[in-house]
Structure 1
Amino acid sequence: MRATWRWVHSDLRTHRGEALFAVLASAGVIVSLLLSAALLSYAVNPWQRLFNQSRGSHVWIHGRDDGHGFDPADLAPLAALDEVAAVSGPFRTATAALETGGTRAGVVLRATGTSPPDTGRPLLTAGHWLTAGAPADQIVLERTLARTLWAEPGETVTVTLTGRHGPTTRTLRVAGVAETAEPRYRAGQGNGIGWILPGTLDRLDPATTGQTAGLRLKDPDDTDYAVQRAVTLLGAARIDQVTKWQQAKADVGGDDRLLGQIFAAFGLAALLAAAVAVAGAVRARVRGQAGDIAVLKAVGFTPGQVVRGFLLQHCGFAVAGAALGTAATLTLGRWTPGRIGDAVALWPRMPGHRAAVVGVPVAAVLLIAAATALAAWRAGRVPPVPAARSGHPAARPLSALGRRALGLRLSPVLVLGWRSAFTAPGRTRALGATARLALPLALITVALVAWTTLGQFRTDPARVGRAAALTVRTEQPPTGDGLTAALEAVPGVADAVPGAEFTALVPGQTGTLTLRGLGTRAAPYPHTVVEGRAPDGPDEAVAGQGLLDLLGVRVGEWVRMTVEGRPQILHLVGRSIEPDHGGRVVSTTLDTLRDGAPGLRPAFHALVLRPDADPRAVAAAVPAAAGARVEVRGTADPADGEGAPRGVLAALVAVLALIALVELLTLIGTGVRDRVRDLLALRAIGLTPRQIGAVVVTSAALTTLAAALLGTAAGAALGHRLVDAEAAATGLGAGVARLPDPAVLAALVLAVTATGALAALPPAVRTARRRLVDSAGETL
């Protein structure tokens, strides 16, 4: 064992550069994996991230607005409870309606100060917080409410509420837009939140006011018990509603299943790519020391001692790199600009943090140890006789194709670079290294596919089941087609499709689904049909993937459901992309629904806009054209989640690029070392040092070009299948995946090739400067 330690120590002193690279490569991979884990946690737990950033309240208690609510003195006993860590409020509240540009939404006005509260603090995403002494009364809107109203900082909204002297209407200026960990606003499912100053609430003079207080608990699992104690202390008669953190989490997290599953697949793939990259670096270093191994065996080292020596070295490199990478990520990661820094800063408060910080480095070290064990076993089999071994592959003569290319006066640098990359000895190892480099590039291409798919939710919503950009509802359903004609006359409207929506019971009444009637047989709704065809006859319908999975049926079958007590039987002639209700939607025409309910009136109109129309301008023009009180709502964007998916995808691409760089440097270093005798032979027959360096750069560029072409092709095919498979699993349905523009893929290939050429410049210069006398040992 003492001899093994002395050899390890001597080897480290002799190959300091290689040892440093091995440690830094392991550290870089660990950093990449930990950043990827932090980003995944940041992306797939949007509510937890928002809750931690805002020091959110686990429980919100809403007092009655009948003058018998609670006041600050009532909260003192709550703050003293063992389960309660902090109390937010109480805040005076009033229920009102906000309206702008024909869009109307319910809101709970919450009076707060000029500084956001420490607990349950709204996080500004645009604009600024409320300021005292402003020329006009201000309001800060919750983000989903602001998006519904198309309200941005600096614009005005009209607030209507019942005052002491009847309904009053006032104008408020939007100061900012904020996020909160409370349940989000959904049209028809409750009110949104707007924060105003107490003086503004007094000037609005509401007839009644309520109170709202938040409780941040020490242990989230004590929520039910804490609610029981709070209700007992305050009195059940004084409490109108209690909102728990589980409701908000379910509300936010439900929209991110597709993104969460895609990011989880990325995490596993990044771990695989990192393990492959480090394993390749270990095998390359062991192969490069074949001469030293033969000398050790010649002086008496046994195969077991050689194996132990390599295991000690490379496991030590892996442990040192893992420790260095983990420490660097935890201490310096939070200072990284952009979402990576935000993710690392919040990571310690996210679930699964400790398991990831410990598990990722341990898993990486074990994978490196496994790769090292295989390489060390091969090292133990190296023969000790120098004449019987070859530290480098033997050179072979130029192929007939190469000689013909030289005869055609092609550049010798290009011909020899091609031979060095693809036809020289050791090409099996070179092809394996090319495949390893292609793996992270394939994952980067998959990320670009996901990026492009998310982008089409905004650029081409009709392709993902969002043909209608606006929905118009009236207080009194119309009796004729006058409203439809009036809406179609609005500038920018291509079609106004009448519709109705019902909740139906599935066979056996064990679940519910959404039944929609859209358009007529003469003027159908433009469904996004990806399988089968659109409905155009009696009792025909299209369904989302979620409904097909729920009922266990396929396109072409008949389904039966119960709608308001009456049976409805429909023939499924197609599958459509359905972003709403988890895809558990079946859509037919209003004519089909009227066959069973002759008096059915349209409950809303879906407006399909022209390509160049502005939804906000159209929404503002609808009320005047309709001639009645209408409510205009924008269509929700299913990709506009709390996890900022496109920003996280960009960060994941950077992580994968780092892994690809480690593999690229290993590939170039191995290639130069394995072909050093060929390069020296070329020097001996008359090639200039500049040509020698150009051969090295050309070989690296051609190798990376092949890896880039292979990676982008495989990544495009894999990404298309992966996105469609995950979309089908979430109920949205396959058929939404979209490949990046060919120019983007071409730019990726060119960027990778250029990076390979630039990375090969330093070893090319060193090789070109070598003299034959300095490399005699390598020519034996």
Structure 2
Amino acid sequence: MRATWRWVHSDLRTHRGEALFAVLASAGVIASLLLAAALLGYAVSPWQRVFQQSQGSHVWLHGREGREGFDAAAVAPLAALDEVAAVSGPFRTAAATLETGGTRAGVALRATGARPPDTARPLLTEGRWLTTDGPRDQVVLERTLARTLWAEPGETVTVTLTGRRGPTTRTLHVVGVAETAEPRYRAGQGDGVGWLLPETLDRLAPAATGQSVGLRLKDADDTDYAVQRAVTLLGAERIDQVTTWQRAKADLGGDDRLLGQIFAAFGLAALLAAAVAVAGAVRARIRGQAGDIAVLKAVGFTPGQVIRGFLLQHLGFAVAGAALGTAATLACGRWIPGRVGAAVALWPRLPGHRLAVTGVPVAAVLLIAAATALAAWRAGRVPPVPAARQAHPVARPLSALGRRALGRRLSPVLVLGWRSAFTAPGRARVLGATARLALPIALMTVALVAWSTLGQFRTDPARVGRAAALTVRTAEPRPAAAAAAALEAVPGVADAVPGAEFPALVPGQTATITLRGLGTADDPYPHAIAEGRAPTGPDEAVAGQGLLDLLGVRVGEWVRMTVGGRPQILHLVGRSIEPDHGGRVVSTTLDTLRDGAPDLRPAFHALVLRPGADPRRTAAAVAAATGGDAEVRATADPAGGEDAPRGVLAALAAVLALIALVELLTLIGTGVRDRARDLLALRAIGLTPRQIGAVVVTAAALTALAAAVLGTTLGAALGHRLVDAEAAATGLGAGVARLPDPLFLGALVLAATATGALAALAPAVRTARHRLADSPGETF
């Protein structure tokens, strides 16, 4: 064992540069994986992120209006409960309606101070907090409520409160937009939150008696018991509603499972690619020291000693790199500008932090150790000194195609570079190296496919089932033809499609689906058809993937459902991309629905806008054209308007780019060393040093080009299938995957090729300057 340690120490002193590269490569890969894991937690747990940043409340108790409320004295005993860590409030509240540009939304106005509360603190995303300066009546709106109203800081909204003397209307100045860990605004399912100063609420609703108080618990699992004790202390007659963190989390993070599956798969693939890259560097280093190993065995080292030596050495590199990368990420990651730094700073307070911090480095080290063990076992089989020359591959002769190319005076640099890249020292080894380099590039392409798919929810909503950008509902129904004509006369509106929506029961009444009537036979709705065709005849319909999976039917079959106590039988002629209700939607024409209900009138109109029309300005124009009696709503964005998922994809792409760079550097170094005699022979027959260097650069560029073409091709095909499979699993339906622009993929291939050429410059210069020699121990 002592001899093994002495050899390891001597080898480290001799090859300091290679050892440093191995440690830094491992550290860079581990740090990148940890940063991606932090961003993953930041993106797939939006409620957890907001809850931790805002010191949110697990429970909100809302008092009844018009009855005796709970003041600070009544709330004080809540802080003494064993389960309660902090109390937010109580806050006086008033229910109201906000309106701007024809869009209305319910809001719970909450009086708070000029300084946000410490517990359940709203997180400003735009604008500023409330002050006594500036406009008189200021309000900060919850983010989803502001998005529904298209309200931004600096604009005004109209607030209407209904009191004993009738409705009161005032104007509020929006000064900020904030996030909160409470349930977000959804039309018809719950009011949003607006924060204003107490004096503002006094002017709007002097007799407001609603109250809200938030409780932050020591243990989230004690929620039910804590609610019982709090209600008992305050009195059940004072409580109108209780909202808990479970509801808020389900409301804000409904797509966490899907995003978690996608990002976890990317993370595991990146970890595997990192292990393959680092293990390839280990194998290349061991192969480069074949001569030294042969000498060691000649002087008495056993195969077991050689194997142990390499295992100890490279396992030490992996552990040192993992420790360095982890320490650097935890210590300096929070100082990275932008969302990455914010994610790392918040990461310790998110669930799964400790598991990721320990699991990612340990998994990487174990994978590297497994690959190192295989390479070390091969090192133990290296023959002693007399056979050491076999460690250097024997070059293959120039092929007939290469000789013809040289005979036609094709550039010898290009011909010899092609030969170095794809024939010498052995095709199996060259193909293996190209495949290892293509792996991270393929995964990058998969990430780009996911990026492009998320981007089309904004750039091309019609392709993902969002042809209508606005929905208009009127208080007093008008004749469908007159209403449609009036709406289509508004500038920016291309088509006003009448529609109605009903809950329906499937056969056996075991589940509820949504039956939607849109358009007529003469004016059909532009469904996004992924399979089959759009409905045109009587009793024809299209369904979402979720409904097909629920009923176990296919396109072309007939389905039966119950609507309002009457049966409805429809022929499914197509599958549509349906982002609503988990895809459990069947859509037909209003003409078909009128066959069973002749008096059916449209409940809303879906507005398809002209290309380039601004939804916000069009909504204001619709409100003005209808005299203010219409409610205009923007169609919900299936992507939620969040950029965090795309940020994680960008981070993973950066991680994979680093992994590809490590593999590329290893491939170049190995290629130069394995082709040492070839390059020296070329110099002996008359090639200049500049031409020899150009051969090295050309070989690296061609290898990178081949790997990039292979990786982008396989990645595009794999990414398309994976995204469609995930979309089908969520009910949205296959057919939403979108490949990146071909020019972008071409730019990726060119970038990989240029990186290969640039990475080969330094080895090329060293090779060109090397003296003419031919020795079994020749290494570079």
TM-score by length of 2: 0.98
CA distance in 1, matches of 2:11, 2:98: 75
Deviation readout 1:211-234 (Å, 9 max, x if unpaired): 111111111001001101100110
Paired position in structure 1 for 2:673: 673
- Contact 2:88-2:120 at 8 Å conserved across structures: yes
Secondary structure of 2:86 counterpart: strand
Partner amino acid for 1:757? A
Paired position in structure 1 for 2:416: 416
CA distance in 2, matches of 1:446, 1:427: 28
Question: Are 1:40 and 2:46 matched, yes or no?
Answer: no
Paired position in structure 2 for 1:152: 152
CA distance in 2, matches of 1:779, 1:143: 62
- Contact 2:480-2:602 at 8 Å conserved across structures: no
CA distance in 2, matches of 1:361, 1:641: 33
**Which deviates more, 285-294 or 390-399?**
390-399
> How large is the RMSD of aligned CA atoms in angstroms?
1.6
CA distance in 1, matches of 2:412, 2:169: 83
Paired position in structure 2 for 1:358: 358
Gaps in structure 1 of 5+ consecutive residues: none
TM-score by length of 1: 0.98
Question: Are 1:21 and 2:21 matched, yes or no?
Answer: yes
Query: Following TM superposition, by how much is the alpha carbon of 1:764 offset from its aligned partner in structure 2, in angstroms?
Result: 1.3
Paired position in structure 2 for 1:472: 472
Identity of aligned residues (%): 86
Partner amino acid for 1:548? L
Question: Are 1:61 and 2:61 matched, yes or no?
Answer: yes
Query: Following TM superposition, by how much is the alpha carbon of 1:480 offset from its aligned partner in structure 2, in angstroms?
Result: 4.4
CA distance in 1, matches of 2:236, 2:644: 40
Q: 1:628 to 1:360 in 2, by over 3 A?
A: closer
Secondary structure of 2:595 counterpart: helix
- Contact 2:135-2:173 at 8 Å conserved across structures: no
Partner amino acid for 2:409? R
CA distance in 1, matches of 2:566, 2:743: 55
Query: Following TM superposition, by how much is the alpha carbon of 1:257 offset from its aligned partner in structure 2, in angstroms?
Result: 4.5
Paired position in structure 1 for 2:266: 266
Secondary structure of 1:254 counterpart: coil
Deviation readout 1:29-64 (Å, 9 max, x if unpaired): 211222222222222111111111111111111111
Q: 1:705 to 1:737 in 2, by over 3 A?
A: same
Deviation readout 1:128-174 (Å, 9 max, x if unpaired): 11121213311111111111111111111111112453211111111
Paired position in structure 2 for 1:758: 758
Paired position in structure 2 for 1:590: 590
Question: Are 1:636 and 2:636 matched, yes or no?
Answer: yes
CA distance in 2, matches of 1:504, 1:387: 80
- Contact 1:252-1:642 at 8 Å conserved across structures: no
CA distance in 1, matches of 2:395, 2:622: 79
Query: Following TM superposition, by how much is the alpha carbon of 1:274 offset from its aligned partner in structure 2, in angstroms?
Result: 1.0
CA distance in 2, matches of 1:536, 1:207: 57
Paired position in structure 1 for 2:326: 326
Paired position in structure 1 for 2:139: 139
Question: Are 1:208 and 2:213 matched, yes or no?
Answer: no
Paired position in structure 1 for 2:580: 580
**Which deviates more, 398-407 or 166-175?**
398-407
CA distance in 1, matches of 2:335, 2:430: 38
Paired position in structure 2 for 1:615: 615
Paired position in structure 1 for 2:305: 305
- Contact 1:162-1:206 at 8 Å conserved across structures: no
- Contact 1:257-1:730 at 8 Å conserved across structures: no
Secondary structure of 2:253 counterpart: helix
Aligned residues: 780
CA distance in 2, matches of 1:540, 1:691: 71
The residue correspondences of 1:186-205 to structure 2 (distance < 5 A) are 186-205=186-205
Secondary structure of 2:574 counterpart: strand
CA distance in 2, matches of 1:641, 1:779: 55
Secondary structure of 1:481 counterpart: helix
Paired position in structure 1 for 2:571: 571
Query: Following TM superposition, by how much is the alpha carbon of 1:738 offset from its aligned partner in structure 2, in angstroms?
Result: 0.8
Paired position in structure 1 for 2:745: 745
Paired position in structure 2 for 1:407: 407
Query: Following TM superposition, by how much is the alpha carbon of 1:752 offset from its aligned partner in structure 2, in angstroms?
Result: 1.1
Secondary structure of 1:778 counterpart: coil
CA distance in 1, matches of 2:254, 2:354: 25
Paired position in structure 1 for 2:491: 491
Paired position in structure 2 for 1:541: 541
Secondary structure of 2:613 counterpart: coil
CA distance in 1, matches of 2:133, 2:475: 38
Q: 1:604 to 1:340 in 2, by over 3 A?
A: same
- Contact 1:97-1:104 at 8 Å conserved across structures: yes
CA distance in 2, matches of 1:628, 1:537: 37
Partner amino acid for 2:283? R
- Contact 1:39-1:652 at 8 Å conserved across structures: no
- Contact 1:93-1:110 at 8 Å conserved across structures: yes
Paired position in structure 2 for 1:98: 98
Partner amino acid for 1:234? L
Secondary structure of 2:254 counterpart: helix
Question: Are 1:288 and 2:288 matched, yes or no?
Answer: yes
CA distance in 2, matches of 1:366, 1:638: 40
Partner amino acid for 1:680? L
Secondary structure of 1:497 counterpart: strand
- Contact 2:505-2:513 at 8 Å conserved across structures: yes
Paired position in structure 2 for 1:693: 693
Query: Following TM superposition, by how much is the alpha carbon of 1:625 offset from its aligned partner in structure 2, in angstroms?
Result: 2.1
- Contact 1:46-1:643 at 8 Å conserved across structures: no
CA distance in 2, matches of 1:395, 1:779: 16
Query: Following TM superposition, by how much is the alpha carbon of 1:120 offset from its aligned partner in structure 2, in angstroms?
Result: 0.9
Question: Are 1:514 and 2:514 matched, yes or no?
Answer: yes
Secondary structure of 1:550 counterpart: helix
CA distance in 2, matches of 1:198, 1:109: 10
Secondary structure of 2:326 counterpart: helix
CA distance in 2, matches of 1:339, 1:619: 33
CA distance in 2, matches of 1:252, 1:135: 32
- Contact 1:47-1:642 at 8 Å conserved across structures: no
Secondary structure of 1:57 counterpart: coil
CA distance in 2, matches of 1:643, 1:624: 33
Paired position in structure 2 for 1:559: 559
- Contact 2:124-2:179 at 8 Å conserved across structures: yes
Deviation readout 1:423-456 (Å, 9 max, x if unpaired): 2223321221111111111111111111111111
Query: Following TM superposition, by how much is the alpha carbon of 1:756 offset from its aligned partner in structure 2, in angstroms?
Result: 1.1
Partner amino acid for 1:174? V
Deviation readout 1:651-700 (Å, 9 max, x if unpaired): 22111111111111111111111111111111222222222211111111
Partner amino acid for 2:9? H
Secondary structure of 1:727 counterpart: helix
- Contact 2:291-2:385 at 8 Å conserved across structures: no
- Contact 2:538-2:592 at 8 Å conserved across structures: yes
CA distance in 2, matches of 1:388, 1:310: 18
CA distance in 1, matches of 2:109, 2:183: 15
**Which deviates more, 422-431 or 348-357?**
422-431
- Contact 1:462-1:528 at 8 Å conserved across structures: yes
Gaps in structure 2 of 5+ consecutive residues: none
Partner amino acid for 2:385? V
- Contact 1:475-1:629 at 8 Å conserved across structures: yes
CA distance in 1, matches of 2:205, 2:27: 62
Partner amino acid for 1:294? A
- Contact 2:392-2:776 at 8 Å conserved across structures: no
Partner amino acid for 1:401? L
CA distance in 2, matches of 1:467, 1:523: 14
- Contact 1:437-1:707 at 8 Å conserved across structures: yes
Partner amino acid for 1:413? V
- Contact 2:58-2:217 at 8 Å conserved across structures: yes
CA distance in 1, matches of 2:643, 2:512: 29
